[in-house]
């Protein structure tokens, strides 16, 4: 732009452009000179001064004056003359007629994805996931993971000055922990990087529920992934158990009820650090969840509050499970397989001195029916109330059709036994496995024991061995 003229007159300063005055034929290749000529010589002109392509003008060395031929305007200078391919439209302009000319500019379409979100943190997360997956495409997969891979990280800092500030913060940092290790986890559970990226670069949806530590939860638009903002202490615990966790996943070939960890990021926006853990969603991505329980095997302070029960699909707890006389009817064969897998996972947690974990149970009643959403529905058509199965979709299928393909893409799903009076689908998975039984928890155990008195056996803060035994006993009693 030259002194703002490009904006005012629509001119572009580029090569091979000739600016022509249609009052007197004055020509110039500089828009500033052209504007100066108009301002001085024709201050009251209302004509539209167009720009012409010099390559389309005919050069005539013998002509020194302005003439007309075949309705083309010939424009001369003191040295050479050019014949315009455009008609002299002055009379039409004066009569108020509009003249349509072919645009010389091509439409430019967006080539790069914009990571738009309501919160700057989510925009940065979407950008970071895309950047990380793109970088991993150029990294060879190691034959085996070495100790150095469990300490590796990728960190990038972005400083923009008045650039793209409508979409992204001007200054932010993204750090991904152990990228090769988490890529190996995704491969074990058959999560392709492109699918992972596509899921997390669509607008994320905040869940209305919060954790016991008031940490924020998000869900991907396709409902496959849960994103949890965790504390810095939890990041330390993940690093502590990651080598053994990886070894355990390899030994079991990914056949586990433990959380499926897919990625871990640190995001810095406005000098505030946030840690985001990406996991597989235990609950169904397709079927409506009618009942939901979080059980630990303890009874002290293990009831949903009255406020929580007002939610359309509240997360109930141990005492609610017992008072409702609930049972999970898997049948003898399925229960045997499930309990063997659960005991193996719990023994691993005991070896890592973990406690305070729980079993998340999501129940879909086949007789009530209800599909969460059409798998082809775009994320823009979804609302937060749909995430917990609070609103059934239109056009629900018959109960006989629902649940026939539940095992194809949902590893945490089991079906009730044929002998059961209930026709249900169960989503079962162990969650919140990062609590370490150290000095802090030992002190909490002593304090809670004194406060609870005779109910001390029901508190959740106990030694890992006691916690595991009580947890398995509760599951074994209530699963048939």
* CATH number belonging to domain 288-480: 3.30.810.10
Would the pLDDT of 133 be above 80? yes
Contact 48, 76 (CB under 8 A): no
Question: Given pLDDT bands bounded at 50, 70 and 90, which one contains residue 419?
Answer: confident
Q: Looking at the whole model, is its pTM more than 0.95?
A: no
Q: What percentage of the chain carries pLDDT values higher than 70? A: 65
Mean pLDDT of 331-340: 94
Residue, of 71 and 462, whose pLDDT is higher: 462
Of residues 19 and 61, the one with the higher pLDDT is 19
End-to-end CA, the chain: 77
- Judge whether residue 94 has pLDDT over 70: no
DSSP strand E in 95-201: where?
153-159, 171-177
Greater confidence, 141 or 434? Answer: 434
Dist. CA 337–CA 261, nearest whole Å: 23
Backbone angles phi, psi at 226, to 5 degrees: -110, 135
Q: Which residues are catalytic?
A: 228, 356
> Which pLDDT band, with edges at 50, 70 and 90, does 32 fall under?
confident
CA distances from 95 to 43, 48, 90, 91 (A): 20, 13, 9, 6
Who's near 343: CB < 8 A, 6+ residues apart? 472
| Residue 61: Cβ within 10 Å count | 8
The residue-averaged pLDDT of 407-412 equals 62
Domain parsing of the chain, residue ranges: 5-94, 116-281, 288-480
Tens of pLDDT, residues 228-284 = 999 999 999 999 999 999 999 999 999 999 999 999 999 999 899 999 999 999 998
At residue 361, the pLDDT reads 96
pLDDT at 215 exceeding the cut of 80 = no
Burial of 286 (0-12, 13-18, 19+ CB in 10 A): buried
Report the pLDDT value the prediction gives residue 193, as an integer from 0 to 100: 94
Mean pLDDT estimate for the chain: 76
> How open is the CA angle 468-278-146, to the nearest 5 degrees?
80
- Residue 70, pLDDT > 70, answer no
Q: What is the widest separation between alpha-carbon atoms in the chain?
A: 115
CATH of region 116-281: 3.30.800.10
d(CA 6, CA 290): 62
């Amino acid at each position: 732009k030259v002194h703002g003229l490009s904006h005012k007159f629509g001119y572009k300063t580029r090569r091979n452009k000739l600016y022509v005055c249609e009052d007197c034929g004055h020509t110039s290749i500089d828009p500033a000179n052209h504007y100066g000529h108009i301002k001085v010589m024709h201050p009251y002109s209302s004509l539209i001064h167009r720009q012409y392509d010099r390559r389309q003008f005919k050069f005539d060395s013998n002509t020194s004056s302005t003439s007309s031929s075949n309705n083309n305007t010939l424009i001369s200078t003191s040295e050479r003359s050019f014949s315009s391919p455009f008609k002299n439209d002055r009379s039409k302009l004066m009569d108020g007629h509009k003249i349509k000319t072919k645009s010389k500019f091509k439409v430019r379409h967006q080539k790069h994805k914009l990571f738009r979100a309501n919160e700057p943190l989510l925009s940065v997360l979407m950008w970071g996931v895309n950047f990380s997956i793109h970088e991993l495409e150029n990294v060879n997969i190691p034959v085996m993971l070495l100790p150095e891979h469990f300490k590796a990280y990728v960190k990038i800092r972005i400083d923009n000055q008045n650039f793209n500030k409508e979409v992204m913060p001007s200054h932010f940092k993204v750090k991904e922990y152990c990228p090769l290790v988490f890529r190996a986890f995704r491969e074990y559970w058959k999560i392709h990087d492109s699918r992972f990226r596509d899921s997390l670069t669509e607008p994320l949806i905040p869940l209305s529920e919060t954790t016991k530590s008031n940490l924020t939860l998000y869900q991907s638009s396709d409902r496959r992934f849960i994103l949890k903002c965790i504390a810095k202490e939890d990041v330390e615990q993940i690093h502590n158990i990651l080598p053994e966790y990886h070894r355990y996943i390899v030994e079991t070939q990914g056949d586990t009820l433990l959380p499926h960890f897919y990625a871990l990021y640190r995001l810095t926006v406005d000098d505030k650090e946030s840690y985001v853990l990406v996991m597989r969603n235990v609950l169904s991505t397709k079927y409506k969840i009618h009942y939901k329980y979080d059980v630990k095997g303890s009874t002290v302070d293990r009831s949903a509050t009255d406020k929580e029960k007002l939610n359309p699909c509240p997360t109930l707890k141990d005492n609610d499970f017992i008072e409702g006389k609930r049972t999970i009817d898997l049948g003898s064969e399925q229960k045997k397989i499930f309990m063997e897998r659960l005991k193996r996972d719990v023994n691993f947690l005991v070896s890592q001195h973990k406690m305070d974990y729980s079993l998340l149970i999501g129940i879909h009643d086949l007789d009530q029916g209800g599909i969460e959403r059409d798998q082809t529905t775009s994320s823009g058509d979804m609302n937060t109330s749909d995430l917990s199965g609070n609103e059934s979709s239109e056009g629900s299928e018959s109960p006989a059709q629902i649940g026939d393909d539940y095992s194809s893409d949902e590893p945490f799903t089991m079906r009730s036994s044929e002998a059961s009076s209930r026709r249900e689908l169960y989503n079962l998975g162990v969650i919140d496995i990062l609590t370490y039984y150290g000095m802090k928890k030992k002190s909490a155990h002593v304090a809670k024991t004194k406060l609870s008195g005779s109910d001390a056996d029901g508190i959740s803060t106990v030694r890992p061995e006691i916690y595991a035994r009580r947890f398995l006993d509760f599951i074994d009693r209530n699963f048939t």
